[in-house]
Structure 1
Amino acid sequence: MSATTHKIWLLAGETSGDELGAKLIKALRHFNPDLKFYGVGGTKMQEQGMEILFPMQDLAVMGLVEVLPKIHMLSNRLNQAAQDIQLKQPDVVVTIDSPGFSLRLLKKIADLHIPRVHYVAPQVWAWHESRVKKFPGLWEKLLCLLPFEKSFFAKHGLDSAFVGHPILETDVHHGNGQQFRKEHQVPETAPVLLLMPGSRRSELPKLMPVFKQTLVLLKRQLHDVVAVIPTSPLAKEHVEHTVQDWPIKPIIIHDQQDKYNAYAAANAALTKSGTTTLELALAKVPMIVTYRVNPITAMIARRMIKVPYVCMLNLLANKEVVPELLQEDCNPAHLTATLLGLLTDPQKAKAQQDAFTEIMHQLSGPNNELPSRVAAKEILGMING
């Protein structure tokens, strides 16, 4: 590929998108070191040399009710992003996940006739399939992370490419559990439980109180259990403040390698649904998936969801490999009882771990090439024609 200088404008609206965007920038530079990057992202994309327009945190809102107070600010950010794209005139615009904001932006810049790529297919196969009708004309290329999505969108006349899942590019399964226990003074025999409440401002207040009470109940049964909360830059301050009044203090970690070491040391995890489930599966950590949103949001969601599971691992396996305790079931008593089973019954843990191996194989990209490089080739193909 030529080393001609081109401009690429990217948008990521949350932590997982920032990580995906950083990998993509690195892969794009592998093929063309002279590329210039602009847009909206987090610290990881900024570290890869992208010029940031405004803080990614402004877009990290989830839930039908939770977004209402933010509508004016989000509208302003949408206009700001569109104006910046018009000013920069990039060779291609790449929006990463965050469909609520991304798809509005893609529509808004349609008249600029700049090639548009959406990376991470909207999960309309899980919600109202009829929403697919709104997609034609929004992008020139759709990049999918999941193997079944290409055929789903083809059924609706939308061209897409399966690039593989970026989780396979991480070192999440190369942690050192002994090092973690030594550095944090965790006894060799103590069960380690990961608590993963997410990073969105709308998630943490709903899950952290439940996790607090669950830990209290669990400690009565497993006296030596040690809780660990890996946090992202978005969640660090809130998590540290929240646990100040917890009667049992969890270990809070921020460093990525420390997180991977914690995965290696962990006996189980209590996690929100989302990308973290794939991380944990790759690291072979048995888990329970939980989630809680505003009751009105939950009521609407239940009417709309068209798939039998919310956890991606269960969807890929087409069966419940991982217990899902959602909404009303996301309560301390239920979570504690299920965690006890996972922490004290080796067969339950092994059944999950065996299933994880098969699931991860499905996520490999074409020819086992790095997913980010497959995605980069698709994007550069649009620039170079």
Structure 2
Amino acid sequence: MKLFLVAGEASGDKLGAALMAGMKALAPGVEFAGVGGPLMEAEGLVSLFPMEELSVMGLAEVLPKYRQLKRRIAETAQAVLDTAPAALVTIDSPDFSLRVARLVKAARPDLRTIHYVAPSVWAWRPGRAAKMAQVIDHVLALLPFEPPYMEAAGMSCDFVGHPVVAEPRASAVEAALFRERHGIGDEQPLVLCLPGSRRGEVERLGPRFDEALMRLRDREPGLRVVLPTVRGVSSLVREMTTRWPVAPIVVEEAADKRAAFAAADLALAASGTVSLELAASRTPMVIAYDASFLTWHIIWRMLRIDTVTLVNLVSETRAIPEFLGPECRPDRICRALVRLLESPEARADQHAAMEETMRRLGEGGEAPGLRAARSVLAAIERRG
């Protein structure tokens, strides 16, 4: 059996790698082709081209690269047809992957198409599910409340859990060693700075996050900052942080990132999947995000929910403070960080929300990657 996988960003790379591991456990001898990042490559994928070419989002960000992306869409679709897999599995990045699926379906209507990560139609643009159903047969959902939305649009859908609940975490010993290795005392506050995994996010949020942390450092002179990053933006992060008044500790290796998450007292993070990673490590957080003026105003007019932070949504609380769009200001972010450092009640509320989130996402159960692989195999068998 051969599968063609398409992932377009770091979070999709994690999902794809977990799925690949699950497939190898359930279907020995399975082969993979497609587009992915370092984690999927470690599972045996030879990427058609560097995944980082697809890590753009927002109208203003995509337009300058439109012709290149259009060429990659056609190239990827042709590769799917040439490979003739048992199924095409597209992973998140809908602006790219669903265009690939549309070209593939037009040429091969019988080919099973599976999309990993349900569109957040409960948040905005509810019509996306019906549009997706034109080219996708089956959906793997990360959140427990999503399957009914997909089924109503005409697709089959399984809740497979979120891979974050099965990812390895650093021990208390590894966290202590991280602090010791970087000369961080037990009483020194350590803050994670997580401005995103895309160039546009890092360029936009990095300076604001730095200013917020500088304000916090004025109150906490011993404050240390660690900035985990990913391959696609590592060089940008390192170049940018050399201009920061107090350079953070930049880490890229997975083991160092896990240790940093466990060692940190709190985090300042861009909105996205990282909030679940922080919840898994029970690290209190403040979420902030902004986009270009045009992108933000389009999204804001379409939003149907009052929070975009996944921990808030899954736990059905509003324990995690967030600063979005015009609210993404260093002074406001700093005040929220100070409150989190100084208020045991605020930290307790977050811990309770994080515990509930992880329980609802499947912590302690079968690994989501294995559940996803089982769902993929069942979907292929149904078509057969």
Q: Tell me the TM-score normalised to structure 2 length.
A: 0.95
Counterpart of 1:373 in structure 2 is 370
Task: Write the distance in 2 (CA, Å) between the matches of 1:59 and 1:338.
Answer: 33
Structure 1 counterpart of 2:72, one-letter code: R
Counterpart of 1:3 in structure 2 is none
Counterpart of 2:348 in structure 1 is 350
Counterpart of 2:317 in structure 1 is 319
Pick one of 150, 168, 183 that aligns with 1:171: 168
Q: Tell me the TM-score normalised to structure 1 length.
A: 0.95
Would you say the 8 A contact 1:24–1:375 is kept in 2? yes
Task: Write the distance in 2 (CA, Å) between the matches of 1:108 and 1:169.
Answer: 34
How much does 1:157 deviate? 3.7
Task: Write the distance in 1 (CA, Å) between the matches of 2:154 and 2:379.
Answer: 20
Q: Does 1:247 align with 2:245?
A: yes
Would you say the 8 A contact 1:228–1:253 is kept in 2? yes
Would you say the 8 A contact 1:124–1:131 is kept in 2? yes
Unaligned runs of 5+ in 2: none
How much does 1:134 deviate? 1.1
| The 10-residue stretch of structure 1 (325-334 or 182-191) with the greater mean CA deviation from structure 2 | 325-334
How much does 1:152 deviate? 2.1
Counterpart of 2:122 in structure 1 is 125
Counterpart of 2:266 in structure 1 is 268
Counterpart of 2:46 in structure 1 is 51
Listed as ranges, the matches of 1:294-313 within 5 Å are 294-313=292-311
| The 10-residue stretch of structure 1 (323-332 or 71-80) with the greater mean CA deviation from structure 2 | 323-332
Counterpart of 1:93 in structure 2 is 88
Pick one of 208, 213, 216 that aligns with 1:215: 213
Q: Does 1:82 align with 2:80?
A: no
Would you say the 8 A contact 1:192–1:227 is kept in 2? yes
Unaligned runs of 5+ in 1: 1-5
Q: Does 1:67 align with 2:67?
A: no
Pick one of 330, 333, 342 that aligns with 2:331: 333
How much does 1:140 deviate? 1.7
Q: Does 1:259 align with 2:257?
A: yes
Task: Write the distance in 2 (CA, Å) between the matches of 1:151 and 1:115.
Answer: 21
Q: What's the secondary structure of 1:203's corresponding residue?
A: helix
Would you say the 8 A contact 1:12–1:95 is kept in 2? yes
Counterpart of 1:8 in structure 2 is 3
- Deviations for 1:160-193, whole angstroms, at most 9, x for unmatched residues? 1111111111013646321111111111110001
Would you say the 8 A contact 2:317–2:353 is kept in 1? no
Identity %: 37
Counterpart of 2:24 in structure 1 is 29
Task: Write the distance in 2 (CA, Å) between the matches of 1:74 and 1:149.
Answer: 29
Aligned pairs, how many?
379
- Deviations for 1:294-353, whole angstroms, at most 9, x for unmatched residues? 011111111111111111111112231100111222111111111111112222112211
Q: What's the secondary structure of 2:306's corresponding residue?
A: coil
Structure 1 counterpart of 2:238, one-letter code: E
Counterpart of 2:136 in structure 1 is 139
Task: Write the distance in 2 (CA, Å) between the matches of 1:262 and 1:46.
Answer: 24
| The 10-residue stretch of structure 1 (236-245 or 175-184) with the greater mean CA deviation from structure 2 | 175-184
Q: What's the secondary structure of 2:375's corresponding residue?
A: helix
